[in-house]
Amino acid sequence: MSTPETSRFVRLRVELVLEIEDEDAVTRAALRRIADDDGMPDEERVHAESAVTEDTAEALAQLVDPFALVGEVPGAELLQASWSGEEIDYDPDSPEWDLDDVDDDVDDDGDDDEGDGDEGEGEGEGEGGTGRAG
């Protein structure tokens, strides 16, 4: 048998920019998601409800589920995901938003030059947090 020369682990980087056309609709959907989550402890629920009503980016992060995005990819298992939401100034004509330059913050060995790459806070489903498949 031969030893594989490549890692079995792959980091998939996805960056999305969404335009929120109806902040109230996003907030209501996030609050419904929180209310429907029977496994969420009461203390976490109170914190999540407060966060999504104060910040549309937090509401959107509550609704995004990276596990659902790749959960049914054959031959792959999602081990860890981190995600966050933040309000940004967006100018599609700015060179800063050129998608061809996405890899500029990754050096030759594939490591993120700006730290460990985890942007989330805490454990959770969509709280801008880090989740682990289980």
pLDDT over threshold 90, residue 14: no
Q: Which pLDDT does position 48 carry in this prediction?
A: 96
**For 26, phi and psi rounded to 5 degrees?**
-65, -45
Beta 130-132 vs 80-82: how paired, if at all?
A: antiparallel
| pLDDT tens figures, 61-115 | 999 888 888 888 999 999 998 888 888 888 888 888 776 655 555 544 444 444 4
Q: Which pLDDT does position 56 carry in this prediction?
A: 95
Q: What is the model's pTM? A: 0.63
Q: Copy the structure tokens of residue 112.
A: 């993120």
